[in-house]
Amino acid sequence: MLTPVVPSIAEVRQLVREARQAGRRVGFVPTMGALHAGHAALIRQARLETDFVVVSIFVNPTQFGPTEDFGKYPRTLEDDRQLCTAVGTDLIFAPDAATMYPPDASTFVEVPALQTGLCGDRRPGHFRGVATVVLKLFNIVAPDVAYFGQKDYQQARLLQQMAEDLNVPTQVVMCPTVRESDGLAMSSRNRYLSPVERGHAVCLIQSLEHAKLMLAAGERHVNLLVRGMVDILEQTPGARIDYVEIRDAKTLQPIGVVERPAVAALAVFLGTTRLIDNLILNP
């Protein structure tokens, strides 16, 4: 039987309440749909660690800028439902925009220290939209544990901080990035790549792995590590760098030398498709 899809806040709250009354821990995977193996890995982790798994599918309008792809973002609910069923999801919460944002809604959530820099500077308002919708989802689903992918590292760190700062009783877990066989991070946006662009997209992980090798060889200076990453990207036909940075893994503040865990993060355009990726660097 296919996983049930619930569009109503009241109904999802009732079903979660019944699960809790039965002594079941609630795991939650928030998504915008167009699910792939990366999402499946998050759901499987939730299935392993909790007893009642909820997946939300909601293309959140408040995290898209005016020039971004909200209108063409893939909406594949029936395929998503098949995937959710296959990996053991108990409930899909699929509200519409009017349910999540009534006409008189005027409250937003921000995490200033973590929403600037990296993708935050390139996508003004994006993380305000993410933090707002995820806090709303946490308040609706009331999960014990929520699972996010490391590919969206800045997002996951921001949501961990939000939950801590606002005393949200949900553990926010960051799970390892799931990759294609050639190392490309799985993303709903990969489907926009042409075959040629898809072949060139491996430059992202190659660049990140190069920084990791440089660090292992003893290089600690961020400017030299970044230069090594940029060199690889600049040799890739059609690749346009949005940013390449190395920052403190916890605070996301700029650093000059890698002396503690750091995150190497980048965003690269291939054609019109913007891809992001990252690796943790441990000195």
* Nearest residue to 170 (alpha-carbon basis) of 206, 143, 209, 202: 143
Token pair in block for residue 28: 């939650």
Helices (H) and strands (E) in the chain, counts: 11, 9
Helix axes 153-165, 126-141, angle to 10 degrees: 50
Per the annotation, the verdict on 210 as an active-site residue is no
3-class SS at 112?
helix
**In this structure, which amino acid lies at residue 175?**
C
Q: What angle do CA 271, 273, 276 make, to 5 degrees?
A: 125
The torsion angle over the Cα atoms of residues 209, 210, 216 and 221, rounded to 10 degrees, is -120
* Burial class of residue 74 in the structure, from the number of CB atoms within 10 Å of its CB (0-12 exposed, 13-18 middle, 19+ buried): middle
Active-site residue, from 36, 39, 126, 210 = 39
Catalytic residue IDs: 39
